[in-house]
Amino acid sequence: MSFEGVIGIVQYVRNLVGILAFALSGALLGVRKDFDVFGVVMLAEAVGLGGGVFRDLMIGVRPVAFSDPGRTA
């Protein structure tokens, strides 16, 4: 495996960990505010998407969620 391949895998894993962290923070907020299961899931999804978009804007790239909706990372 080439060095670029390893870098790509590392970036992909870091991307997933970041989205997971944002989603968990949204879910924990929903639990603290006594949301039902649907509310917790929706809040986690919104915060996970928003965190990914915010990250992409901060590093100066077009957000993946808007450039290719079928792509997860």
**pTM of the prediction?**
0.70
For residue 65, pLDDT beyond 60:
yes
Q: Where is mean pLDDT largest: 8-12, 35-39, 55-59?
A: 35-39
Query: 30 vs 16, which has greater pLDDT?
Result: 30
Asked if 56 and 15 touch (Cβ cutoff 8 Å), the reply is: no
Higher-confidence residue: 39 or 48? 39
User: Residue with structure tokens 């603290």?
Assistant: 32
Element (H, E) at 53: helix 37-58
Contacts 24+ apart (CB under 8 A), 68-72: none
Lowest mean pLDDT among 11-25, 31-45, 58-72: 58-72
